[in-house]
Amino acid sequence: MTDKPVGFAHGLTNYGDKDFSLYLRRSFASSMGYSRDMLAKPVVGIAYTGSGFNNCHRHFPEMLEAVKRGVLAAGALPVEFPTISLGEVFLNPTSLKFRNLMSMDTEEMIRAQPMDSVILMGGCDKTVPAQLMGAVSANLPAIGLVAGPMMTGRHNGERLGACTDCRRFWAQYRAGKVSDQEISTVEGRLATTAGTCAVMGTASTMACIAEALGMILPGTAAIPAVHADRLRAAEATGAAAVNLIGSKMTPDKIVTAKSVENALRVLLALGGSTNAVIHLTAIAGRAGIKVSLERLNELSNTTPVLVNLKPVGDGYMEDFFAAGGMGALLRELKDLLHLDAMTVTGDTLGQRLDAPHYSFVDRTIIAERSKPLEPQGGLVALFGNLAPKGAILKRSAADSKLFETEGRAVVFSSLTDLAARVDDPKLDINANDIMVLQNAGPNSPDAMPEAGYLPIPKKLAAAGVKDMIRISDARMSGTAFGTIVLHVTPDAASGGPLGLVRTGDRIKLSVKNKRIELLVDDAELKKRAAAAKTAAEKPARGYAKLYAQEILGADQGCDFAFLRPD
Ligand code: FES
């Protein structure tokens, strides 16, 4: 028995006799068929999120094999363990509600089980942020491995990718331009392989952010899920996890103020998902780093949109990979990045970018700095009396003709109200109105679902209206598009001014000035606040009770208060 705890000898159960504890653990570990030699090796834990409720991780068994191959060849013992897996479309009321639960599971299982480093296998929207949050809190040497994106399908000679094209076809179906039969055919052709959504949605954005942070291997964010390179990346990740054993390269050395700012730059240049602002805020928060929306705006002013992928542009993730991927994008942004930020390989970002690389870049997908798709970043934060702690607009996916607008509010008090009335032919609404959804924020019972992409009322859609200003405290899928103001903070359910808007009020949006104002005087708002109903009853038990007690606003990444280091 060695004095230095390695592998299974880590963190022994305490029976008051250390040698007995080790003897007992090894005896039970032996029951899994390991030899004494194997049991003496350092252990790489693998946080494994394969699940029958997660189509995006369908290929994880094959990836796991490749990871284990890499770990074994590098001289350690790979041991996978299950954690919660969050399959985006299979969770009620919304996957975000369970992101913090998954982060707790990941953190505590890393801490409680005997391992020398850990690989985080994730991919679908909330899984990567949950794993990074947990890993930063546990602070054992860790490296991520993402699922990789789906390949596109085909329909009538056209490429289809989940899920921007899902929404496009559904909007056409609602407008009566696509038949029942065709929408049913399209349904079977949108998501045709393993992997995460095929566009620059939340999962792809978070994969790119993980690479920009330095928490996954260089060049691995965009490799398609079913490509042989993905298995080679898995094997290399296994080897890299062995290199991390005993190193000082813990997540707190990698997730720093500098790498977080690099990640924000990348998010802006990608025209990436609005959800990533919440997730990056939560990940950084675990390291004690604050992400301010004012700083986001400063960075947005000086970061061009360079990546031409749906929902902002034309291409799919497979095109981004073939175009040069994250390496090409990071080199294009090089002078804007903190090149001394450390990465999980032990190299700085600058060293990574200076390393020999294949130099082809497809400029139809990754634009040069001198010819950006947009001169400024894809996201902008808005402030004003309607959103004192900020709101987010994905301007790269919005109609710029609506950016300087004053309009009449048409209010829906909840998602139930929206569903009941939005398609009512008698609904008093026209294309110049501003749709407002209340009580869909983090403090609402719906727990901030991706419902901010309010459907255009059927009668307006049928008349050809494709976009309207929509405002809510909800989120929006990273695959969606439109002039949609999201994450209004504080949210209506926690007493924010969004809950005081009434149909007929005037609202003024100015993207130029980064303002969103409710044109109602303070005295009237105070009156409305005093007359407002008391908050809904809180859940009595279980995770729902914990969530209701601890959930923070979007400005703090919707983390739980007790999980933050302070
Ligand atoms: Fe998993 Fe879109 S549903 S990434």
- Residue 99 Cα to ligand 1 midpoint, Å, equals 14
The answer to whether residues 272 and 417 belong to one domain is no
Rg of the chain over Cα atoms, rounded to whole angstroms, equals 24
Between CA 111 and CA 252 the distance in angstroms is 15
380-393 as b/e: b if 16+ CB within 10 A: bbbbbebbebbbbb
The answer to whether residues 253 and 161 belong to one domain is no
pTM of the model: 0.96
Instruction: Please give the number of the atom of ligand 1 that sits closest to the Cα of 89.
Output: 3
Query: CA 103, 109, 114, 120: dihedral to nearest 10 degrees?
Result: -40
Residue 112 falls inside a structural domain: yes
Between CA 504 and CA 516 the distance in angstroms is 16
The pick from 60, 99, 125 for probing ligand 1's pocket by mutation, whose C-beta has the most ligand atoms within 8 angstroms, reads 125
Residue 133 falls inside a structural domain: yes
The answer to whether residues 177 and 225 belong to one domain is no
- Report which protein residue has its CA nearest ligand 1's atom 3: 88
Name residues whose C-beta falls within 8 Å of residue 322's C-beta, 6 or more positions apart in sequence: 362, 365
Residue 565 falls inside a structural domain: no
The answer to whether residues 399 and 291 belong to one domain is no
- Residue 397 Cα to ligand 1 midpoint, Å, equals 19
The answer to whether residues 93 and 130 belong to one domain is yes
Ligand 1 first shell, C-beta below 6 A: 56, 88-89, 124-125, 196-197, 201, 203
Number of domains observed in the structure of the chain = 3
The answer to whether residues 433 and 514 belong to one domain is yes
The answer to whether residues 105 and 230 belong to one domain is yes
- Report which protein residue has its CA nearest ligand 1's atom 1: 124
pLDDT score recorded for residue 535: 63
Cα atoms in the 13 Å half-sphere on the side-chain side of 514? 18
The answer to whether residues 168 and 283 belong to one domain is no
Residue 560 falls inside a structural domain: no
Residue 409 falls inside a structural domain: yes
Between CA 288 and CA 285 the distance in angstroms is 5
Which of 321, 354, 387 is where one domain is finished? 354
- Residue 21 Cα to ligand 1 midpoint, Å, equals 43
The pick from 51, 53, 56 for probing ligand 1's pocket by mutation, whose C-beta has the most ligand atoms within 8 angstroms, reads 56
Q: Which residues of the chain have pLDDT under 70?
A: 1-4, 534-535
The answer to whether residues 50 and 103 belong to one domain is yes
Q: What is the pLDDT of residues 68-125, one digit of tens each?
A: 999 999 999 999 999 999 999 999 999 999 999 999 999 999 999 999 999 999 999 9
The answer to whether residues 453 and 350 belong to one domain is no
Residue 415 falls inside a structural domain: yes
Amino acid of residue 140: L
Q: Which residues pair with 7 in a beta bridge?
A: none
pLDDT score recorded for residue 537: 82
- Residue 564 Cα to ligand 1 midpoint, Å, equals 27
The answer to whether residues 97 and 199 belong to one domain is yes
pLDDT score recorded for residue 2: 43
The answer to whether residues 168 and 92 belong to one domain is no
Domain span at residue 478? 379-534
pLDDT score recorded for residue 164: 87
pLDDT score recorded for residue 1: 38
Residue 416 falls inside a structural domain: yes
Domain of 528, CATH number, reads 3.50.30.80
Instruction: Please give the number of the atom of ligand 1 that sits closest to the Cα of 196.
Output: 4
- Residue 246 Cα to ligand 1 midpoint, Å, equals 35
Which of 164, 187, 210 is where one domain is finished? 187
Residue 2 falls inside a structural domain: no
